[in-house]
Amino acid sequence: MWHRKPGQHLPQEVSEQLRTMILKGRYRAGDKLPPERKLAETLGVNRATLREALKALEQLGLVRSRQGDGTRVLDFVQTAGLDLLRHLIPASDDAGVSILRDILEFRQIVGRELARLAAERSQPAQRDTLRDIALRSAASREELLVQDFDFYFELARATGNVVFMLLVNPVRAAVRSFSSFFADFIPPAEDVRAHHLEIIAALERRDGDAACAAADRHLRQGKDHLLEKLSSGPEVLVSGEPS
């Protein structure tokens, strides 16, 4: 049994422990977890607590429980969704570098297409909202990071495509779970504001190519800068679970 975290809900803690074991490969895709009674005894919890924890893992796409077959580990690449991202970072064997690279690459590709579509579809009120975000004052680098993500979420809204909004949300949540880390690599506030205003100007001209190019440049520079720092000695994130 492990040491309890003060104030944490027990089924949540059990779920975290099992999730970490799965993501770190102690239990691999296709493996059957120990019988419920034995696993509960090993973890030092009752079976009701274990069942609640397993239900949470099933909702994440990590396991599947079937009567007569027990609980088996799934290949989460095929069954899980983007909500798993924030849990993959601290569980990564390379201190999160590969997952961070994938997140930033995804954000660059999606962000530039959001800008292109928003240039075609955005309404005046949506551009006003984007301008309000761009002109917002950030008291810290973490607030600036949130501001940048808020801007891109509103870009997603301006496309009118709900799938883009749903894709942006878990990526934003993953980054915000480690905002103190990511905030060290965001450009200065004046550069972020200039970038936002450049995109807004392109939206007002209905210039999709210019909006796409501005977004791509900003997101690529941020990605390259972060990965360059990480390659010289990643000191990432793995000291604790995300909130």
Cα torsion for 7, 89, 111, 217, to the nearest 10°? 120
In tens, the pLDDT along 149-200 reads 999 999 999 999 999 999 988 888 888 877 877 777 788 899 999 999 999 9
- Tell whether the model's pLDDT for residue 240 goes beyond 50: no
* CATH superfamily for domain 83-231: GntR ligand-binding domain-like (1.20.120.530)
Tokens coding 180: 């103190």
Q: Which fold has domain 10-79?
A: Arc Repressor Mutant, subunit A (1.10.10)
Q: Using DSSP, state whether 66 is helix, strand or coil.
A: strand
- Tell whether the model's pLDDT for residue 239 goes beyond 50: no
What's the average model confidence in pLDDT over 51-75? Answer: 94
Boundaries of every domain in the chain:
10-79, 83-231
What's the average model confidence in pLDDT over 17-36? Answer: 93
- Name which of 91, 76, 99, 115 is nearest 230 in CA terms: 99
Q: Is 160 left (phi over 0), alpha (psi -120 to 50) or beta?
A: left
Most confident of 59-63, 82-86, 91-95: 59-63
Same fold, 10-79 and 83-231: no
Distances (CA, A) of 67 to 48, 55, 71, 97, 232: 16, 14, 9, 39, 50
At residue 228, the pLDDT reads: 77
pTM: 0.79
